[in-house]
Amino acid sequence: MDFVTALLLGLAAAVGATWFPGLLNMNSVSVTLRAGRRAGYLFGAGMTVAFTAQAALAVFFASYFAAHPRILTFMRQWAVLVLLVLAAFFLVKGFRAQLRHEDSESTPYHGSPFVRGIALALMNFLTVPYFFAVCGWLLSDGHLRGDLGSRTGFTLGAGAGAMLVFAAYTRSARWMQQRAHFLTRNINFVLGGILILLAMIQAIRMYS
């Protein structure tokens, strides 16, 4: 029963982290529009692998991170820089597409979507601090046990929740294209804006 509870808690935590439009799920939409639904699912699977590994790192090493808070601070600081670099990348990509009179969704897609998904998710340094905070709260309040089975269940639930959300965005990419053409046509600018906003929020939280 503890395993099932941990599984559901992990699933809920992952859905809460990925449900709203952000770097990972909006990239699922972009890949799907450019390379098809199969590529979108592979991209989501790659992101899920990295996302699950990051969740496992936070959950299984929660005590270590609690004893060495500078590691999480370092991750948050690097997250701001990485978010800004990625924002610049997507904005430049969007401006280049406009200069060439191309839609973002018509740009050819190269490389393995699965590997690209892993690489992109690993750049999201905020995943580990997020799951550390959630796991710490659940452990301290007694909602999550600290045994191996519960931590494993939480990790698997986090992976399942992330995959469900990424798959949902992939599945609805064409629907979004039909009903929000401006959004999907300018998805590089949308991603750049989201990343700048996330970087600003993270910087404010760090230095306020």
CB 158 within 8 A of CB 18: no
Higher pLDDT, 19 or 143: 19
* pLDDT for residue 105: 54
Higher pLDDT, 131 or 186: 131
> How large is the angle between the packed helices 148-171 and 37-60, nearest 10 degrees?
160
What pLDDT band is residue 180 in, cutting at 50, 70 and 90?
A: low
Task: Give the contacts of 87 (CB within 8 A, at least 6 positions apart).
Answer: 191, 192, 193, 195, 196, 199
CB 44 within 8 A of CB 28: yes
Kindly give the residue spans of alpha helices, DSSP state H, lying in the chain: 2-18, 23-35, 37-60, 62-67, 69-99, 113-122, 127-140, 148-171, 173-179, 181-185, 187-207
pLDDT at 184 over 70: no
R_g (Cα) of the chain, nearest Å: 18
Residue % of the chain over a pLDDT of 70: 88
* pLDDT for residue 50: 95
Residue % of the chain over a pLDDT of 90: 30
Higher pLDDT, 158 or 93: 158
Task: List the structure tokens of 105.
Answer: 């969704």
* pLDDT for residue 55: 93
* pLDDT for residue 173: 87
Side-chain-facing half-sphere of 172: CA atoms under 13 Å? 12
Residue pLDDT, tens place only, 107-137: 666 779 999 999 999 988 788 888 988 888 8
pLDDT at 20 over 60: yes
Give domain limits for the chain.
Answer: 2-207
What pLDDT band is residue 12 in, cutting at 50, 70 and 90?
A: very high
* pLDDT for residue 117: 94
Q: Compute the C-alpha angle 108/23/58, nearest 5°.
A: 130
* pLDDT for residue 181: 63
What pLDDT band is residue 182 in, cutting at 50, 70 and 90?
A: low
